[in-house]
Structure 1
């Protein structure tokens, strides 16, 4: 249900709940119940809260709990304290409101007398319900522990009420800040090494680009898309909104470090046999890879007629691939749907990723031999950008020695790799690290790894000694494009309002934009391209798009793999590292003090 229906409900509620008859009982005027928003300010004041809390009703993501707070607080001032009455005030507030408005014997009560044991007893279970709905189980643990170590003074709130109120309003405040101002974020992978390290804890600033209004405002506070322990989704689609961004003071600029919702994460795969139930948040990538693996198994068995795997130029032959892959994709898709849970995730509940924005709407992008060009000029190279090198004749060092001498790990992140004989064969290095190693070890040869167009980032050895290139791992995953991660493009980054020509040769670039991001149907037929059932030779973009890449260029799943990032996926700008911990060390030994409160550039 669209959020506008909820706002309509909130506007009509004071009239339908007969606040115009309730307000006079509390010494207010009837007409005050008819003025939208102002009436909630008055209700807040009657209930014993500051009047300005009523203004919070305009904020999606906060308005529903505030609505419940105003109703429960207002109705308690007329003696509705019990568990059933509290539940009714939260979920069906009209019931209590009608009783208050129509029964002349029900009068406005003074503030709660906490010395009145009868009243305290009457409201006890209602207070327990409020605390449970605020923070199930954990809230009670906190309340009992803190209440147990503090002595309640005579005539003051019970510790369930006191700590329940504190927890409730702390969660509301934290939700508002997290949704519209700052959000904490932890670096989970090495795709931004050495600019950002695994174990860095960041603040994401949502104000510069303008905060997004949540698409799914009705959500459990302080978690993203899954409730821990129980492994169920943390949000409800009962209330939804269209993409809306509040005003900010800047646009996304080239070289900003940006947090965004994962574009290919619209479908997640859950399997109860996997720890935490999560098999993957990139259904499309898993579908493609598993389809290829099934196909390759049949090739190895000889059950698929595949005569020419590699031609004289060592280029992949696509004919049989094109014929067979749709068949295998359908098998894998049926398996996923039958055995696993496929869950669609709204934009704001897709996984959060962090990368550097290297191209903005309207830019021309090309990568030549691992050098990035924007608008035919060499792009800015961050100080800590990392490339991978083949290494030969490097002195033997243990893993502990590599970490001690060079600060390099073999796992998480994969700073170096060893061959079968244990020698180091590959390294991921910044320019400064490369120059330092060359000075220390002049006998060592470092050769940057570059994949020419028409080759592939990975190869699969066959039993007969032949080599099959792995499936097209780069966007747009189509045989009409021979892109690699180090030789990519040229492509244009789509710009809102821009109209382009579309045809069979370029439609793969824009397929997902047209369908998944901008909501149209798309068909490729022998006589042309059909959008929403109509033959089309052009398309006008409804949103701006961006190109994101990790600073760890050869160990990053980024736009080169899954394509453009739509503007409605942008979350905010990475602002500050507030804490950093090296997971390879103990807690105190592993704290990276030099990174605490470090600005991100």
Structure 2
């Protein structure tokens, strides 16, 4: 529903809610109830609240809550303070408004008699409802604490007048600051180490790039997409706005540390048992994994037959010393196995990739389960996520609109120029495990932690991997040999068409079998800029189809070698938004744009500016990081 309908409702609501009669009972002029905006200011005056609170009605993300505050405050002035009255005032205000309008004795001068136990109990219960709906559990604590500080005499104003409404308003003000000015953010993973550490608490500056107006403004205050502990959505989609960004101080600059909504989070697998209520953030990666499982499951008997024949063939050929060229003979005999009717291999999966992905989507959405480590895991199905309610991620923006990027042997190139290595950026090295064992004391003094900064290789126990900054590398390389560790090269595979390589390609953007990318070698590509026009070629479609469909909202079809956008034949496409490329400073332990691709401008949340607190997950605080700027 468009926000316009909400604002139209706010305009006609005072008339529908009988405010002309209510205003008259409060000693105001009847005509004041008919003037849009002014009538809400007068309602606040009648309630004893500042008139300017009415201005918050125009701010998306706050307006509906301010409307509730005005309603509750107004009916309380006429003595409606009970639990039922409070709930009606919040969710069905027409009921108490009509009751007040029809009551000949109603007067706007109600004050709680703090010496009357019945009135106090009634008022306290109503205040608990207000605070619980705005601040669960903590609201009760505030109610008791603030209630104890109140005056008990009817003739005197309470020390904290109308504290239920006041705390609710404070919460709304805090929600406004969080939405439009700055927002606290916690680092949950090590993808930005050592620029940012797990346990760092940040302030995200939303004014830097301009605050986004919420797409789903009707949302529970001070939480993101789920209400903690209750595991229910914090927002409703009854009101949806178009993407709008208010003016900011600057554009997103290359190498800024940026907080953004997760691009691959447009769809999510909901499981309240998991962190953030999600079974992994990358739904599209989960689909590929489940598609592989569905293929394996459907062809398991044939796989078993083929593997049995292969094992017998190997045993016969490689144990016979009279065979001079076992590899050639094995390859020749393997062709005989491939000719069997039951023969199946993973090239078949790639040929029918979309079919198996469709089966995976059905498994997630309808059967509500996924295969994980040998067994099925039930969950609660698939949920769509609006842009502003996707998970918040933090990475370094290494590419801005119009840039061309490439990664060669772990070195990022931006427009053909090597990108800088940042002071706390992690690089990966390989070392001899025995050599490393002799430096444990030195590494402890350097603050290097096992499993985070160094660990033994899973594949070869004689080797170890180290994740080091440039300074740490300089120190340790004086004592042991450190070799840069890259991902497997194309040469690892038999040839460019190797099936194993093609399946591995599905792990990296653009998740296409024919585009070979890894975390340390990434093909050159272009970052779209608003207004850029591209020709629709096979290569461009592979890289930008998701941009056209998921982010810019068009349908895309390929028929007989031609492309159709929104049902019309198209030879080219003009981008409607700017895009960015984000990478973690912990380059080898970071799920970033190399996995899920471009970040649209409407996903940008703000600039990570300040670490205000840092808590070590192993205990204690990192006081040296308190109130440090992020670079």
State TM-score, norm by structure 2: 0.83
Contact 1:546 1:564 (C-alpha < 8 Å) held by counterparts: yes
Q: Offset of 1:537 from its aligned partner?
A: 1.1
Q: Could you tell me how far apart the structure 2 residues matched to 1:140 and 1:387 are?
A: 49
Q: Offset of 1:556 from its aligned partner?
A: 1.2
Q: Offset of 1:18 from its aligned partner?
A: 3.4
1:323 matched residue in structure 2: 351
Contact 1:501 1:539 (C-alpha < 8 Å) held by counterparts: yes
Contact 1:127 1:161 (C-alpha < 8 Å) held by counterparts: no
Task: Specify the SS of the correspondent of 1:280.
Answer: coil
Inter-CA distance 454–401: structure 2 relative to 1 (3 Å threshold): same
Which stretch has the larger CA shift, 550-559 or 399-408? 399-408
Larger radius of gyration: 2
Q: 394, 412, 416: which is aligned to 1:372?
A: 412
Q: Offset of 1:219 from its aligned partner?
A: 1.6
Task: Specify the SS of the correspondent of 2:563.
Answer: strand
2:435 matched residue in structure 1: 395
The equivalences for 1:498-517 within 5 A come to 498-517=532-551
1:302 matched residue in structure 2: 303
The equivalences for 1:410-429 within 5 A come to 410-411=450-451, 413=452, 415-418=454-457, 423-429=462-468
Q: 425, 428, 449: which is aligned to 2:486?
A: 449
Q: Could you tell me how far apart the structure 1 residues matched to 2:142 and 2:525 are?
A: 55
Task: Specify the SS of the correspondent of 1:219.
Answer: coil
Q: CA RMSD in A?
A: 3.4
Contact 2:205 2:608 (C-alpha < 8 Å) held by counterparts: yes
The equivalences for 1:206-355 within 5 A come to 206-271=206-271, 278-295=278-295, 298=299, 302=303, 319-337=347-365, 338-339=367-368, 340=379, 341-355=381-395
Q: Could you tell me how far apart the structure 2 residues matched to 1:34 and 1:6 are?
A: 18
Give the structure with the larger helix fraction: 2
Task: Specify the SS of the correspondent of 1:506.
Answer: helix
Q: Offset of 1:45 from its aligned partner?
A: 1.3
Uncovered stretches (5+) of structure 2, i.e. residues with no partner: 311-326, 332-344, 369-378
Inter-CA distance 505–120: structure 2 relative to 1 (3 Å threshold): same
Contact 1:453 1:483 (C-alpha < 8 Å) held by counterparts: no
Q: Could you tell me how far apart the structure 2 residues matched to 1:108 and 1:580 are?
A: 50
Q: Offset of 1:474 from its aligned partner?
A: 1.5
Inter-CA distance 455–12: structure 2 relative to 1 (3 Å threshold): farther
Inter-CA distance 526–419: structure 2 relative to 1 (3 Å threshold): same
Q: Offset of 1:305 from its aligned partner?
A: 7.9
Q: Offset of 1:93 from its aligned partner?
A: 2.1
Q: Could you tell me how far apart the structure 2 residues matched to 1:154 and 1:376 are?
A: 76
2:315 matched residue in structure 1: none
2:400 matched residue in structure 1: 360
Which stretch has the larger CA shift, 501-510 or 467-476? 467-476
State TM-score, norm by structure 1: 0.87
Inter-CA distance 402–38: structure 2 relative to 1 (3 Å threshold): farther
Q: Offset of 1:165 from its aligned partner?
A: 3.6
Q: Offset of 1:535 from its aligned partner?
A: 1.6
Q: Offset of 1:272 from its aligned partner?
A: 6.0
1:135 matched residue in structure 2: 135
Inter-CA distance 318–518: structure 2 relative to 1 (3 Å threshold): farther
Task: Specify the SS of the correspondent of 1:577.
Answer: strand
* 2:629 maps to 1:599: yes
Q: 520, 539, 560: which is aligned to 2:594?
A: 560
2:508 matched residue in structure 1: 474
Q: Deviations over 1:463-501 (max 9, x none)?
A: xxx999634321101133222222223211111122211
Q: Offset of 1:204 from its aligned partner?
A: 0.6
